[in-house]
Structure 1
Amino acid sequence: MRNYVFVSIFCALQASVAYTQTPAPGGAPTERVFDNPVPAEKVVYFNPAGERVEAYWGAIPRAERGALLNSAEAFVQILQVDGGGNVSILPVTASVRRGNYRMLFRWQQYRSDSCRPNNPAAGQVRTGVALEIQADIQTSRDGVNIASFLGLSAGVDRERVSGQLRIRQIGLGNSSPTLGTYLTNFAMTREGLTKALEAIAVTKAVLENPNTVLTPHYLSVYEQSPGSCDPVLPTDVQTQMRTTTASQ
C-alpha cells in the first residue's frame, strides 16, 4: 500500500510537468542559482497599454501579482560534491558513479527579465517564489539514478542511497499551515521522499489560491559571461553562487 501511495503521488506530478535544467539564453555557459534568495523589492513589467513600468511589489494590487509571475516549472539540478566541499554541475543523466552529490529541486513560479534592457544578450534574471527540496546524497554503488524522486526511492530500497532532505519555501508566506508542517529536514528514506512529494502537491494548491501572499525573490541568473548581470543585482545577491561553470 505504501508503494502504491508513493508511485501515485509521483505519477500525478509527472503528468503535469517535466523536470528541466533550463539552458542559459543564447547557449551561454554560466548559470547561478542563489543559495539564500533575497526578496526583489521591485518588478519591471509592461502594463496593458504597453508601457514599461517599474513598481514596488507591495504597491501592485494583489489581484494583479499572480499574472506577473507568468512562468512555472519543476527545476532540477544535479551537483557533484568533492572532498573539499566544492560543487560542479552535472548533466541530468540517468545514473551517477559512487560518491557525494546534491540534487536541488524547485517547484517555482517566476518571471524572467533581461538584466540589461539595452543589451538583452547579457542575460536574464529570474525572480519568483518556490518550494525548494535539497537532497544531500551519498551513493554506495555506480549506476544509481538520482535525477528523480522515484530514482532516489529505488536507490534507498536497494540500500545504495543515503542522505538527508531539506524542504523550505521561498516567498510563499505563512498562509498555509499545512505546507508549514513539511518545512523541515527528513532522512533519505521512503517516508522522507514521500513527504517531499506531498509538499510539492501542497505547494501547487497554495499557488492556485488567490489569497496566498507571494513575495518574489531573486532565484537565479543566466548570463552570457560570468558577472554580466551583477550591475543590476543587490550586493547580497551578487556574492551568492551555489553553482559554477557546468562540468563538461
Structure 2
Amino acid sequence: MRKIVILCILIISALLLCQMSNAKLLVEDDFKGKLKDKYWKGQKESWDIKNEHLEIHRVAGDGNGAEDFGYGIVEFENFGLRLDFYLFSDPQPSKMELLFRANEDLHFYQLIITPSDGFGRPNSARWYKREGNDRGTWNEYIDFRDEFPIPIETKVWYTLALLGRGSDFELYIKRQGELTYEKVSDLSDVKNLHPKGVLGFHTNQLQHYYIDNLYLYDSPNEVSLAVEPHGKLAVKWAELKQ
C-alpha cells in the first residue's frame, strides 16, 4: 500500500512539474534603461522611462487621440499578469488605465483603477470594453464594478495581479511588500469579445502614473497570490534596483 501511495505522489509531482515547465514567461520587465523593443511598441507622446520605471503621462489630449493609447507587442490568450503601479496626485489624483487583450484597432478590455481621493468613483476597479473606432462601443461592465478592499492612495506603490482564463478575469491587490493579495473583482464576458491581444496603457492630460516590475505569463497559475515572487529573478531585480 505504501508503495502505491509513493507512486501516486511521484506521478502527481511529475504532472505538476510538467505543467510548470510548459508555462511560459512572455514579458519580464523592470524598465531599467530604454524601452525594450521586443516587448513594447509604446507611445512616444505619453511613454517614457523615468527613475527606472515606465512613466505614463501626457500633458495634452483628451484621451481620444492615437497618442493616448500605447501598446505592447507580445500577444496572449490565457494569462497571469503581475505589475507594480504608483499614482501621482498632479494635476489631480490620477487613475491607472490598463488595456489587455488589446490591438491597435481599438479592440480591447480595459481596467480602470481610481484612488480613494480620485474623482468619479473613488477607490474603485471598473471594467470596460471597446470594439473598434466606434466610441459608442466603449462601455463599462457596470455589474462588475467593485470597491477595493483596501484604500488605494496616491503616491504609494501597489502590486496587482490580473488573471485571465478564457473570458473570465480576476483582479487582486496588495500594497507593495505585503505578503498576500486581497481579491478585488471578477469580470466574465459571455461574448468573449477579445480572445487574444496584447497589453497596453491609456492616458490623457489628467493621468500620470508609474508602472514597474511587470511579469506576464501565458498561464494564470503562474502568479502566486500568497507570497512575493522569490528566487533568481527577484534577487536579480533587487540587485538592479539598488
- Report if TM-score (shorter chain) is over 0.5: no
Higher helix share: 1
Higher strand share: 2
